[in-house]
Amino acid sequence: MATLWIPLLAALFIEKHAIVGDPIRYTAAECSFVFPLGMYSAATYTYADAAHRPFLANVVLITVLIAFATWILASIGLLRSALRSVEGK
């Protein structure tokens, strides 16, 4: 069931920035996109181990890489936002 949320998150992100035209900039709401990806990866890893489903290791590897990439991008956005606020004062 959780797998169905990931395309929805991506679709909402695309709608917000590509269709509505909201510029991409860091807000605290970005954590609502990054956090579920990390939790999905952790939950899939735990499930794969508990259910003895080694083929899910590939899914975990991919989702961990995606979650890490989004975390890095969100962190860069946070740092840029912090630097802008310090420079503006």
Note the pLDDT of residue 81: 84
Note the pTM of the prediction, 2 decimals: 0.75
Give one word for 26, left, alpha or beta, with left for phi > 0 and alpha for psi -120 to 50: beta
Q: Given a cut of 90, is residue 51 above it in pLDDT?
A: yes
Asked whether residue 67 is domain-assigned, the answer is: yes
Asked whether residue 1 is domain-assigned, the answer is: no
Structural domain that includes position 74:
24-88
Q: Given a cut of 90, is residue 75 above it in pLDDT?
A: no
Asked whether residue 42 is domain-assigned, the answer is: yes
If one counts the domains in the chain, the total is: 1
SS3 for 26?
Answer: coil
Q: Report residue 50's pLDDT band, with 50, 70 and 90 as the boundaries.
A: very high
Q: Using alpha carbons, select from 22, 23, 33, 18 the residue that is nearest to residue 70.
A: 33
Asked whether residue 54 is domain-assigned, the answer is: yes
